[in-house]
Structure 1
């Protein structure tokens, strides 16, 4: 779909950003022009429906129905990816390609929305409320309130994604004279400070944190152990304070600190990341079950979380820990991060339920696959649990185990120096202020048909629409404006523009 007559579009684009004109041929130049126009149109359309600069996950085309993970209102935005920080990263990515100040301005609006949603505890809830009457339900720093929800959420890459976006934004805008950047800087500094305070003495974090300091006497630093006796039904009480691996929260927190260290040079963040890395060693359960649990109590023993998540060893989270240990070895060069891996691999290889397939949870002490349900009890077959939980949770699968083992094998066989000579550090901070090295022209030509399909699917209002149900929002609504699709398509267009940019 040509958004402008070809000759006019080339003239307009050449006048606006001559350094980005592709020198390949007229066809490539025309497609680049259309790609740039589509980026501009889609970004401006999405920015126009933002709430105070922030975003939800999805909107009906008439904007009457909105949602994040659940239903939302016109005065709310979502933090959890693919929400507000993820969209902000997309604006920074396009700014790196085009140098159009609109995208940096849009990213600044996103950052300022997060400033207004930061809690006194330094992090963010899943959503941010802008209705003045409802904002009193949260202890937002901006409001200087002493009441309301003050729970920073580390589950699902929530607070972490916000902090990493703010780090990237300030890195990109460091030469900007905009005075509002000082507010963003102060928000980031407070968030990182509180992230350090939320870390337990052993290097772990809770799933959520309300800002109250940890009493070191209640959280001793000692190796993990397997309890000889534990509750067979979920007990009453909150699990938010447990040491948590679930949903990669520990990895996301560790990556955030390493990103902060790389971008700022502040070794306080590196030291906290090292404590987080050392915690992985402490948290490995002893033989004969040398894997990791989803969550642990203050004595570093596997503990209950949700009604269907009993104390157990878990293959999914353990695969993530194995990858993280390899990454930390590559980052810090300390071989102690590799030592927990061989016994974990040996256990995994001997407990497949089918080739390349594992149960997600195995019972402590017996190695039996176990399953959970909303009845708060432990079950031993899928047939015992409700239909809703049978299909609402990943009880069996590959869980990335085979890939994690292969990654460890490749790195250790190659050697750290040789690996890093050919591969970027797993924690390399990609500056959003500079464009990547352009790829080959042949790669760009191969991508051209997909780019044309993508451009043709942009509707006249500037949105890419999905046609799928969102059961938790409105099952009857099947057409959506989705931030996830915007993020994905923006990334494809930026990659194409990088590939066809002039050297």
Structure 2
């Protein structure tokens, strides 16, 4: 790792997944080396956090979009969730000393504040989050050429689930959850299915299409245009509004639409969260 220029990342579960494993092994064995390894990971995440409260994809910072605050692929939420568990002394993360716990709590508070400030507004209406946000202004930001500033129908689900995990949420957190859930319902695409069909004339012998189906369950797009809420299909930085407009390689090479990411949140998690809040008020 020391020989690599940019060795450390929280992308695709990296670092925080290993920290979860170290914490679990420490609880199972009681060996100090696993506790020390977990504590090193905690200090790394604390050091990597921006003053604005977010986390970049890589730290030390790598030039380009990797230095943006990264919700993509669960990066920031994965890191924040581990620190949250450590800050609140939840097993198996209850293995660090009090001073480090206190540092974690301050980092968690900054992280939650960052999430709330990053939430995209459409006029007065709260919506959800972009895959990446500027680390200074917190505005939605472009990642790769196919990841234009937009509202994410996928990554936003993990953000909402994290906010719903907060015990005794502030009014601002409650408002953020309610706003995002309202947006998920508005953003659902009804009456269609995304299908893969055989087509011997095309590379790989298949194509991907959207077909009408009145009985189909709601699906969501990966990217929504800010201000119009239209699903976006992006090729070489150019926005298109139907899957059919993309080249074959782009139609079949990316999950632009058809995901069910918010379905479980809307059907199970959110109603349970509302019920729990009602009980706590009674």
TM-score of the pair, normalised by structure 2: 0.76
Deviates more, 1:246-255 or 1:402-411: 402-411
Larger radius of gyration: 1
Q: Distance in 2 between matches of 1:241 and 1:395?
A: 24
Q: Within the alignment, does 1:270 sit opposite 2:96 as a pair?
A: no
Q: Within the alignment, does 1:254 sit opposite 2:92 as a pair?
A: no
Query: 1:280: which partner in 2?
Result: 115
Once the two structures are superposed, residues 322-381 of structure 1 have per-residue CA deviations (whole angstroms, 9 ceiling, x without a partner) of 2211112x3x544432111222222332232215222221112232211123x2332222
SS of the aligned residue for 2:187 comes to coil
Once the two structures are superposed, residues 82-129 of structure 1 have per-residue CA deviations (whole angstroms, 9 ceiling, x without a partner) of xxxxxxxxxxxxxxxxxxxxxxxxxxxxxxxxxxxxxxxxxxxxxxxx
Kindly indicate whether the alpha-carbon contact (under 8 Å) linking 1:167 and 1:260 is maintained by their aligned counterparts in 2. no
Q: Distance in 2 between matches of 1:391 and 1:327?
A: 35
Q: Within the alignment, does 1:338 sit opposite 2:174 as a pair?
A: yes
TM-superposed deviation, 1:311: 1.0
Map 1:312-461 onto structure 2 (within 5 A): 312-328=150-166, 330=167, 332-354=168-190, 356-373=218-235, 375-406=236-267, 407-415=269-277
- CA RMSD for the aligned pairs? 2.5
SS of the aligned residue for 2:83 comes to helix
Map 1:127-146 onto structure 2 (within 5 A): 138-139=1-2
SS of the aligned residue for 1:279 comes to helix
Kindly indicate whether the alpha-carbon contact (under 8 Å) linking 1:315 and 1:399 is maintained by their aligned counterparts in 2. no
Query: 1:163: which partner in 2?
Result: 19
SS of the aligned residue for 1:353 comes to coil
Q: Distance in 1 between matches of 2:150 and 2:273?
A: 29
Distance 1:344 1:189, change over 3 A: closer
Kindly indicate whether the alpha-carbon contact (under 8 Å) linking 1:371 and 1:385 is maintained by their aligned counterparts in 2. yes
* Structure in which a larger fraction of residues adopt strand: 2
TM-superposed deviation, 1:211: 6.2
Q: Distance in 1 between matches of 2:38 and 2:272?
A: 37
Q: Distance in 1 between matches of 2:172 and 2:226?
A: 26
Query: 1:173: which partner in 2?
Result: 29
Q: Within the alignment, does 1:294 sit opposite 2:126 as a pair?
A: no
Once the two structures are superposed, residues 223-245 of structure 1 have per-residue CA deviations (whole angstroms, 9 ceiling, x without a partner) of xxxxxxxxxxxxxx610001111
Q: Distance in 1 between matches of 2:230 and 2:128?
A: 14
Q: Within the alignment, does 1:202 sit opposite 2:52 as a pair?
A: yes
TM-score of the pair, normalised by structure 1: 0.45
Query: 1:303: which partner in 2?
Result: 141
TM-superposed deviation, 1:194: 1.7
TM-superposed deviation, 1:201: 1.4
Once the two structures are superposed, residues 406-436 of structure 1 have per-residue CA deviations (whole angstroms, 9 ceiling, x without a partner) of 32222212437669xxxxxxxxxxxxxxxxx
Q: Distance in 1 between matches of 2:170 and 2:279?
A: 12
Q: Which runs of 5+ in 2 are unaligned?
A: 191-216
Q: Within the alignment, does 1:238 sit opposite 2:76 as a pair?
A: no
Q: Distance in 2 between matches of 1:397 and 1:187?
A: 40
TM-superposed deviation, 1:252: 0.8
Once the two structures are superposed, residues 139-177 of structure 1 have per-residue CA deviations (whole angstroms, 9 ceiling, x without a partner) of 1xxxxxxx5323311111111111121222222222x5x
Q: Distance in 2 between matches of 1:284 and 1:187?
A: 34
TM-superposed deviation, 1:192: 1.4
Distance 1:357 1:242, change over 3 A: same
SS of the aligned residue for 1:415 comes to helix
Distance 1:185 1:345, change over 3 A: closer
TM-superposed deviation, 1:253: 0.8
Q: Which runs of 5+ in 1 are unaligned?
A: 1-137, 140-146, 213-236, 420-503
Q: Distance in 2 between matches of 1:164 and 1:417?
A: 31
Query: 2:7: which partner in 1?
Result: 151
